[in-house]
């Protein structure tokens, strides 16, 4: 049996312009959509808006211990730029140990920390966390590091601080290393 005969279907032919408008109505709205997307992207990136400085809360919650006025918790809200500073020691720009004396090493490590903060556009008050590594050695007295930190921060708010005693640091003769995290506006 031969296949059933179907009459040819007639398709209505639209002029090119009418076809585009009928089947692509979004084209007329394209400029408005592009403007809306540009505005949304600008708002999302913060363009044209004032930056809110970070709010840094140094907390001393009951039930957690902290010593020397050092906060147990630091909460950063509306964070700007987070800066992670690798361990700073008494190493000079010539890759030499600046001093064998313990107090000088602490002072030089903190000076290098200042240089790192300055390079990132931050300052001491932007520090939210410090980790202090010290060699467990008769020459090293943790209370003298704490005194150096007291002098370093003065009356400024302190970051949270973790102390880590270690048998040795990476370089021969190194006694103290300080790393930190800062949040700058």
Whether 52 and 139 have beta carbons less than 8 Å apart is answered as no
Give percent above pLDDT 70 in the chain. Answer: 65
Residues 24 and 76 in one domain: no
Range of the domain at 37: 16-45
Q: What is the pLDDT of residues 14-58, one digit of tens each?
A: 555 555 555 555 455 555 555 655 655 555 555 555 567 767 777
Residues 85 and 106 in one domain: yes
Please work out, in degrees rounded to the nearest 5, the angle formed at the alpha carbon of residue 71 by the alpha carbons of 74 and 139. 120
2 within a domain of the structure (yes/no): no
Residues 32 and 76 in one domain: no
Q: State both tokens at 101.
A: 């004396």
Residues 36 and 67 in one domain: no
114 within a domain of the structure (yes/no): yes
Continuous segment of H or E residues that includes residue 151: helix 142-153
Q: Which residues 6+ apart lie within 8 Å of 17 measured at CB?
A: none
**Residue position matching structure tokens 């790393």:** 179
Q: What is the pLDDT of residues 147-166, one digit of tens each?
A: 999 999 998 888 999 999 99
pTM: 0.63
Give the model's pLDDT for residue 152: 92
What CATH number did the domain enclosing 142 receive? Answer: 3.30.1330.40
121 within a domain of the structure (yes/no): yes
Q: What is the CA radius of gyration of the chain?
A: 32
Residues 88 and 155 in one domain: yes
10 within a domain of the structure (yes/no): no
Residues 73 and 157 in one domain: yes
**Residue position matching structure tokens 């509306």:** 78
1 within a domain of the structure (yes/no): no
Residues 32 and 91 in one domain: no
The Cα–Cα gap between 8 and 39 comes to 51
Residues 109 and 71 in one domain: yes
Whether 181 and 83 have beta carbons less than 8 Å apart is answered as yes
113 within a domain of the structure (yes/no): yes
**Residue position matching structure tokens 């400085």:** 53
Residues 126 and 178 in one domain: yes
166 within a domain of the structure (yes/no): yes
Q: With b meaning 16 or more CB within 10 Å and e meaning fewer, what string describes 49-84?
A: eeeeebebebeeeeeeebeeebbeebebeeebeebe
119 within a domain of the structure (yes/no): yes
Residues 97 and 140 in one domain: yes
């Amino acid at each position: 049996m031969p296949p059933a005969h179907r009459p040819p279907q007639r398709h209505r032919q639209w002029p090119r312009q009418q076809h585009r408008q009928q089947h692509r109505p979004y084209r007329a709205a394209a400029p408005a959509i592009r403007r809306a997307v540009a505005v949304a992207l600008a708002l999302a990136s913060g363009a044209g808006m004032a930056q809110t400085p970070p709010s840094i809360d140094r907390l001393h919650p009951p039930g957690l211990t902290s010593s020397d006025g050092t906060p147990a918790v630091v909460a950063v809200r509306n964070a700007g730029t987070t800066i992670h500073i690798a361990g700073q020691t008494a190493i000079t720009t010539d890759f030499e140990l600046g001093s064998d004396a313990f107090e000088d090493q602490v002072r030089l490590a903190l000076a290098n920390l200042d240089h790192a903060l300055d390079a990132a556009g931050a300052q001491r008050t932007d520090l939210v966390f410090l980790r202090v590594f010290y060699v467990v050695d008769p020459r090293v007295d943790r209370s003298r590091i704490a005194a150096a930190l007291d002098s370093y921060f003065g009356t400024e708010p302190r970051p949270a601080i973790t102390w880590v005693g270690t048998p040795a640091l990476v370089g021969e003769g190194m006694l103290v290393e300080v790393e930190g995290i800062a949040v700058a506006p």
